[in-house]
Structure 1
Amino acid sequence: MPERRLTPDEIDRLARKRAGAKLGWYIHATVYVLVNLVMLGMSHHGFGTRPWSVFPVLGWGLGLVLHGVSVFVLGRGSGVREYLVRRERERLERENSGPSP
């Protein structure tokens, strides 16, 4: 089945959505680095006897990685997400074109 071509308005809307998602990740990564640098400094210069800052770095880092996967891998309009959308669309079309009750 040939894929439908996008209109210029749809292309613009999709481009803005994807750019916004990427910008959101860049902001997330910047805040992650800045906050964790502050926590690292606090951890090593008087706020506790052990380096406790590794725990928030790892936890938040996992969240940042998952956010990046959702933006750059699953959200780019091809690959896994497009494959799943195409399969679901085909399944729904088959169900919808079946015999009427």
Structure 2
Amino acid sequence: MESEHPTPPNRDPHLWKQAQARVGFKQHFRSYVFVNILVWTIYLVLTFGVDRRIGIFPWPLFMTLGWGFGLLAHYVRVYRSGDGPDAVEREYQRLQNQGR
């Protein structure tokens, strides 16, 4: 995946890529929250306002859960992935520290 912004001079390319990934996740999270608030508000207005028969089943639940699983996967990939270039070095340091 090509980065959106090239690495500026005097920057660590790995850290720059990680920073871009984290900013991307934060934007994804904000979109998720905003859209869910909007959709659930529409649902509640239709349920308790205009026509009470429409709100029998909470249809926004499908979007909230489906998108939520995608958001969780995005979070794990960005914040919890141990497969980066530093993973071997971190594991080596951990094993070295255990031997002391």
User: Shorter-chain TM-score category?
Assistant: 0.5 to 0.7
* Residue 64 of structure 2 corresponds to residue 57 of structure 1: yes
Cα deviations across residues 44-98 of structure 1 (Å, max 9, x unaligned)?
111732321111000000000000000011167378xx35xxxxxxxxxxxxxxx
User: How high is the TM-score relative to the length of structure 1?
Assistant: 0.62
2:22 aligns to what SS in structure 1? Answer: helix
Query: What root-mean-square deviation, in Å, do the aligned CA atoms of Structure 1 and Structure 2 show?
Result: 2.7
Q: Which runs of 5+ in 2 are unaligned?
A: 1-8, 48-53, 89-100
* Identity %, equivalent residues: 33
Where in structure 2 are the equivalents of 1:8-23 lying within 5 Å?
12-23=12-23
C-alpha separation in 2, matches of 1:25 and 1:75: 17
| 2:80 alignment counterpart | 73
Alpha carbons 1:18, 1:75 under 8 Å: kept: no
Q: Which runs of 5+ in 1 are unaligned?
A: 1-8, 84-101
Count of aligned residue pairs for this structure pair: 74
Instruction: Return closer, same or farther for 1:58/1:77 CA change in 2, 3 Å cut-off.
Output: same
